[in-house]
């Protein structure tokens, strides 16, 4: 068949197919709709409609800037005192705006006051107080407190310890009964000690990998030495946790927790008469064991790392911990408030000299600070930060420079005013809740402060002068005794430290124990 014949046949077949389709659809079938025209471009097809902008006019109150409310007047909490029949002193601040009461049983001695105790033993004693009594297991203690919605806790730090509750006022009697049982009749169950021991060891194992903890351990050890209570961590070391025995905890408890060594502080919706009655029923019959320990506030070391030197802990990282430290002052130092004002200017506020220098001007760190740790004994002064590793040397130089400038020139008028204002305006925050107030009252007990301390302290801060700040800076900042503590990578950091002429590094491990300097 020729191509022409094939083409003709194909046209005939196509025509028959179309006629068959038309017959099947019936006479009423609509004609096929034409295909839509393609859009001119893909982008035009998906372009969103133009947004409608609606302007909201400013509310009338925005037309004028708000006026300041004036100075906030700090009203110090009133403290009343009475004594239970067994000689236990009680301090109370009444607050009847909310139906809650916070109570704190305060032992006036801490880890720094018991020099013969194993490092970490006092903090473990605090943890163990709620782990079981003669009538309650650890779970029962927790369940009984939970049943009345009471917050509770126990602790020991460097200067004090004890137990606490925070509860609705109509549940106070029940809460005090449980608190009394926990505080006066702990049994220190062996199984609970093992449980807390394993947790403590795990936490200490983690801590020794933290550069900030390593720096503080090394600094404390360099200043105080291994035999001073402040020369190691409040929580001890792994070896201390492993060696601690239940018998040690029992002996410590019997020595420390006696009526002559404790006080009870409270704040909330209760009157003095009602509280005296409730505490008398919960604690009044307690006598404790004779021969309670007396406070032995640790004396400053005879030669607190007397020379200026580099203390180095080798730990590689993107940042270095840099801390300049030397012996500070005890809490009862008569220059306490002037020192606080001076330190606020030096490194105690965001706008302090050290922070503005290292963070704002030089971008060495996210934040730098300084502080005096004031305890029953003289704690450390520290100034420093976590800085970029390649800025370790310059950061040390800048901190030293700021310390020297403070000793040479003292503060400006604006700095003095801002520092005192910062301290004064921060005072009300210490007394926001009932629990906060009991912490403040506990300080009155732990540091033998007068009952009007909260009223007189603002006046003491306001009275600090520029001459006072310069005097305490020159007396208590001692650059020639600074230990320059650095935790960082040896290869990156050491070349930066050589120009500072700090001498051979005093090499330490994560706990502050001296280690030999590696030979190259």
Give 144-153 contacts, CB < 8 A, sequence gap 24+: 144/178, 145/175, 145/178, 148/174, 148/175, 150/175, 150/178, 151/435, 152/178, 152/179, 152/182
Of the candidates 186, 184, 77, the one whose C-alpha atom is nearest the C-alpha of residue 176 is 184
Cα-trace Rg, the chain: 36
CATH class of 309-436+448-507: alpha beta
Q: Among positive and negative, which fits the CA dihedral 347, 352, 357, 363?
A: positive
- Three-class HEC string of 249-281: HHHHHHHHCCHHHEEEEEEECCCHHHHHHHHHH
pLDDT 10s digit of each residue in the chain, 520 long? Answer: 444 444 444 454 444 444 444 444 444 444 555 555 555 555 555 667 778 888 888 888 888 888 888 777 889 999 999 999 999 999 999 999 999 999 999 999 999 999 999 999 999 999 999 999 999 999 999 999 999 999 999 999 999 999 999 999 999 999 999 999 999 999 999 999 999 999 999 999 999 899 999 999 999 999 999 999 999 999 999 999 999 999 999 999 999 999 999 999 999 999 999 999 999 999 999 998 877 788 888 888 877 666 889 999 999 999 999 999 999 999 999 999 999 999 999 999 999 999 999 999 999 999 999 999 999 999 999 999 999 999 999 999 999 999 999 999 999 999 999 999 999 999 999 999 999 999 999 999 999 999 999 999 999 999 999 999 999 999 999 999 999 999 999 999 999 999 999 999 999 999 999 998 887 6
| Domain 80-283 shares a fold with domain 309-436+448-507 | yes
Residue boundaries of the structural domains of the chain: 80-283, 309-436+448-507
What is the CATH code of the structural domain delimited by 80-283? 3.30.830.10
- State the Cα–Cα distance between residues 356 and 362, nearest whole angstrom: 8
Q: 83 — alpha (psi -120 to 50), left (phi > 0) or beta?
A: beta
């Amino acid at each position: 068949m020729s191509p022409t014949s094939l083409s003709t046949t194909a046209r005939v077949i196509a025509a028959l197919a179309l006629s068959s389709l038309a017959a099947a659809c019936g006479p009423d079938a609509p004609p096929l709709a034409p295909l839509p025209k393609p859009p001119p471009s893909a982008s035009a097809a998906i372009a969103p409609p133009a947004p409608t902008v609606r302007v909201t006019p400013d509310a009338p109150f925005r037309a004028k800037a708000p006026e300041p409310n004036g100075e906030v007047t700090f009203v110090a909490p009133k403290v009343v005192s009475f004594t239970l029949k067994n000689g236990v002193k009680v301090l109370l601040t009444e607050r009847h705006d909310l139906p809650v009461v916070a109570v704190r049983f305060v032992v006036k001695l801490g880890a720094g006051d018991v020099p013969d105790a194993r490092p970490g033993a006092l903090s473990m004693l605090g943890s163990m107080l709620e782990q079981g009594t003669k009538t309650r297991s650890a779970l029962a203690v927790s369940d009984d407190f939970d049943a009345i919605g009471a917050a509770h806790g126990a602790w020991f730090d460097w200067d004090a310890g004890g137990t606490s509750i925070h509860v609705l006022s109509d549940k106070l009697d029940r809460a005090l009964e449980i608190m009394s049982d926990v505080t006066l009749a702990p049994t220190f169950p062996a199984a609970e000690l093992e449980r807390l021991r394993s947790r403590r060891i795990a936490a200490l194992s983690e801590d020794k990998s933290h550069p900030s903890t390593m720096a503080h351990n090394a600094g404390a050890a360099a200043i105080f030495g291994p035999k001073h209570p402040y020369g190691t961590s409040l929580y001890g070391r792994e070896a201390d946790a492993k060696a601690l025995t239940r018998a040690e905890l029992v002996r410590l408890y019997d020595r420390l927790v006696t009526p002559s060594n404790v006080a009870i502080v409270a704040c909330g919706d209760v009157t003095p008469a009602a509280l005296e009655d409730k505490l008398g029923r919960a604690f009044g019959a307690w006598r404790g064991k004779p021969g309670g320990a007396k406070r032995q506030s640790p004396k400053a070391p005879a030669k607190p790392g007397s020379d200026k030197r580099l203390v180095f802990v080798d730990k590689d990282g993107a940042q270095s911990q840099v801390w300049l430290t030397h012996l500070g002052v005890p809490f009862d130092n008569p220059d306490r408030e002037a020192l606080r004002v001076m330190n606020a200017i030096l490194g105690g506020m965001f706008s302090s000299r050290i922070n503005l220098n290292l963070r704002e001007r030089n971008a060495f760190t996210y934040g730098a600070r300084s502080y005096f740790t004031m305890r029953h004994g003289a704690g450390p002064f520290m100034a420093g930060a976590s800085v970029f590793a390649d800025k370790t040397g310059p950061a040390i130089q800048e901190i030293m420079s700021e310390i020297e400038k403070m000793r040479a020139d003292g503060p400006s008028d604006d700095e003095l005013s801002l520092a005192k204002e910062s301290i004064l305006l921060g005072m009300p925050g210490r007394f926001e809740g009932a629990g906060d107030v009991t912490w403040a009252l506990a300080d009155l007990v732990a540091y033998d402060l007068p009952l009007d301390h909260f009223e007189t302290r603002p006046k003491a801060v306001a009275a600090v002068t520029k001459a006072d700040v310069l005097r305490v800076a020159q007396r208590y900042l001692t650059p020639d005794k600074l230990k320059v503590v650095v935790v960082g990578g040896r290869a990156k950091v050491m070349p930066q430290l050589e120009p500072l002429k700090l001498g051979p590094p005093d090499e330490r491990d994560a706990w502050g124990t001296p280690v030999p300097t590696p030979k190259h």
